[in-house]
Chains A and B, each alone.
Chain A
Amino acid sequence: MYINTGKSWARGFGAGFWVQGDRAVIAFESAAYNYGGGELLSDVTLRLAPGSFHFLTGPSGSGKTTFLKMAYAELLPTAGHVTIFDREVKTLGRDDVAAVRRRIGVVHQDVQFLDHLPLATNMQLPLIVSGKKTSADDLNELLKWVGLSHLADALPPSLSGGERQRAALARAIIMGPDVIIADEPTGNVDWEMSLRLLTLLVELNRMGKTILIATHDLNLIRQAKNQIPTRVLRISKRRIQLAGADL
Chain B
Amino acid sequence: MRLPKPITRALALMSPDSRSDRVVPPSGHTAWLTTFTAAAMTFLCVFAMALSLASGRLATRWSDALARTSTIRLSAPPGQMEAQTAAILALLAATPGVESARALTDAENRALLEPWFGPELPVEELPLPGLIEVTEADPGYDTDGLRQRLRAEAPGAVLDDHARWRRPLAEAASKLRMLGLLSIILIGTAMAAMVTLAASASLEANAQVVRVLRLVGARDQYIARAFVRRFTLRAFSGACIGAVFGLIGVLILPRADAAGAFLTGLGFTGWGWLLPFVLPPLVGLVAFFSTRYAALRKLREFR
Q: Is B214 in the interface zone, CB < 8 Å from A?
A: yes
What 1/0 flags go to A206-237 for Cβ under 8 Å of B?
00000000000000000000000000000000
Q: Is A199 in the interface zone, CB < 8 Å from B?
A: no
Residues of A within 8 A of B119 (CB): none
Interface residues on A, range: 20 to 34
Please measure, in the bound complex, the distance between the C-alpha atom of A101 and the C-alpha atom of B213, giving whole angstroms. Answer: 10
Q: Is B215 in the interface zone, CB < 8 Å from A?
A: yes
Residues of A within 8 A of B215 (CB): 101, 106, 112
Q: Is A64 in the interface zone, CB < 8 Å from B?
A: no
* Beta-carbon nearest neighbor of B208 in chain A: A112
Q: Is B5 in the interface zone, CB < 8 Å from A?
A: no
Residues of A within 8 A of B218 (CB): 98, 129
Inter-chain contact A125/B213, CB cutoff 8 Å: yes
Inter-chain contact B26/A98, CB cutoff 8 Å: no
With A114-B209, A116-B25, A117-B22 given, is the CB distance from A94 to B216 under 8 Å? Answer: no
Inter-chain contact A73/B209, CB cutoff 8 Å: no
B25, B26, B218 pick with most chain A CB within 10 angstroms: B218
Q: Return 18 A-B CB contacts under 8 Å, by A number.
A: A94-B300, A95-B220, A98-B217, A98-B218, A98-B219, A100-B217, A101-B215, A112-B212, A114-B23, A114-B25, A115-B25, A116-B26, A125-B213, A126-B216, A129-B23, A129-B213, A129-B219, A129-B222
Residues in B199-224 with C-beta less than 8 Å from chain A:
208-209, 211-222
Q: Is B29 in the interface zone, CB < 8 Å from A?
A: no
Q: Is B2 in the interface zone, CB < 8 Å from A?
A: no
Q: Is B164 in the interface zone, CB < 8 Å from A?
A: no
Q: Is A19 in the interface zone, CB < 8 Å from B?
A: no
Residues of A within 8 A of B212 (CB): 112-114, 125
Residues in A100-130 with C-beta less than 8 Å from chain B:
100-102, 106, 112-117, 121, 125-126, 128-130
Inter-chain contact A101/B217, CB cutoff 8 Å: yes
User: Main SS of chain B's interface residues?
Assistant: helix
Of A75, A115, A126, the contact of B217 (CB 8 Å cutoff): A126
Q: Is A175 in the interface zone, CB < 8 Å from B?
A: yes
Inter-chain contact B217/A175, CB cutoff 8 Å: yes
Please measure, in the bound complex, the distance between the C-alpha atom of A70 and the C-alpha atom of B100, giving whole angstroms. Answer: 90
Q: Is A54 in the interface zone, CB < 8 Å from B?
A: no
* Beta-carbon nearest neighbor of A96 in chain B: B219
Count of chain B residues near A, Cβ 8 A: 22
Inter-chain contact B211/A112, CB cutoff 8 Å: yes
Inter-chain contact B23/A128, CB cutoff 8 Å: yes
Q: Is A171 in the interface zone, CB < 8 Å from B?
A: yes
* Beta-carbon nearest neighbor of B222 in chain A: A129
Of B23, B208, B216, B303, the contact of A74 (CB 8 Å cutoff): B303
* Beta-carbon nearest neighbor of B213 in chain A: A129
Residues of B within 8 A of A121 (CB): 22
* Beta-carbon nearest neighbor of A72 in chain B: B215
Q: Is A97 in the interface zone, CB < 8 Å from B?
A: yes
Q: Give me 12 other A-B pairs in contact (C-beta within 8 A), A75-B303, A97-B214 excluded.
A: A94-B300, A102-B217, A114-B209, A114-B212, A115-B25, A116-B25, A117-B22, A126-B216, A128-B19, A129-B213, A129-B216, A171-B216
Which 6 pairs show the lowest CB-CB distances between chains A and B?
A102-B217, A129-B218, A101-B217, A116-B25, A126-B216, A98-B219
Inter-chain contact A129/B220, CB cutoff 8 Å: no
B203 to chain A, nearest CB (A): 15
Please measure, in the bound complex, the distance between the C-alpha atom of A130 and the C-alpha atom of B223, giving whole angstroms. Answer: 11
Q: Is A159 in the interface zone, CB < 8 Å from B?
A: no
With A73-B303, A74-B303 given, is the CB distance from A98 to B23 under 8 Å? Answer: no
